[in-house]
Amino acid sequence: MSTNIYELVDQLGKGKKEDTFAFIFQHGKKRLLKKDEVIIVEGSLANAVFILLTGEAQVYRKDHLNNIVVIANLADGHIFGEMGIFLDRKRTASVKALVDSVVMEFTNADFIKALLNIPDLMYRLFKSFAQNLANMNELLNKMHELNVIKTLSSHFLKINMESEDKNNKIMVSIPTLSKELNLSSEQLYSALQFLKKINLLESFTVVAGSTFSFYIQNEKLFEILKSNQFDYE
């Protein structure tokens, strides 16, 4: 998902490689990171771009249930934080060092300033960034759909825990669920279909209109929520 500066510079030819790196890096500031040090915090201002010179890093974010969702692992040469160049908004994910690492940090303006003097590299970088943005949007949409599924699943477990019916039978109305969970009918129908598909809802029956009854697999559903391992496609 991320762009690798080393691979892109290699495409410019050997003669330009050292001069290009020297020119780009004179606009940045080298930083040493300790293992587990967080360099980008989700929700912070997107005002800098980073190149991982050596080491390993991880891009992650928290869903609304506070689960850690890993988006990507980064290695030498990967650029991260670049979405701030395109989008004037807060960070959508955090990044931390997995091992002791070295990064080069640029302000958004300094990064653009460096690239303006290398048109061929700038074209390749921006083309890669645009693709990364499309991939990120697709991933975020998928994560949002998973969050809806988790919210609905947690709600069903709560209903069962509070119910006196020991058979785990649940009856729900889509309009009522929509108000209680602040989710659209379309989101709820999609989530229900997924839970049926992976056999977490049994004896699914349409009672009337948008009211349904079914049994849930309590232990299986709880374990999946606990492990955060929904096999969603």
| Strand 201-208 versus strand 3-4 pairing type | unpaired
- Between CA 12 and CA 9 the distance in angstroms is 5
Here the CATH number for the domain that contains residue 178 is: 1.10.10.10
Of 106, 141, 176, which residue sits at a domain end? 141
Is residue 232 a part of any domain in this protein? no
Indicate whether this model's pTM tops 0.85. no
Say how many residues make up the chain: 233
**Structural domain of residue 160, as residue ranges?**
149-227
Q: Are residues 157 and 118 in the same domain?
A: no
Buried b / exposed e over 151-166, threshold 16 CB at 10 Å, is bbbebbbeebeeeeee
How much is the pLDDT for 226?
60
Q: Which of 40, 6, 33 lies closest to 21, judged by CA?
A: 6
| 100 CB-near residues (< 8 Å, 6+ apart) | 32, 33, 34, 35, 55
Q: Which of 31, 83, 84, 38 lies closest to 57, judged by CA?
A: 38
Here the CATH number for the domain that contains residue 14 is: 2.60.120.10
pLDDT (tens place) for every residue of the chain, 233 residues total: 567 787 777 776 666 667 777 777 888 899 999 999 999 999 898 889 999 999 999 999 887 667 788 888 999 988 898 877 766 678 888 999 999 999 999 998 888 887 777 777 777 777 766 666 666 666 556 666 777 777 888 888 887 777 666 666 788 889 998 888 888 888 888 888 888 887 778 888 888 888 888 887 777 776 666 655 555 55
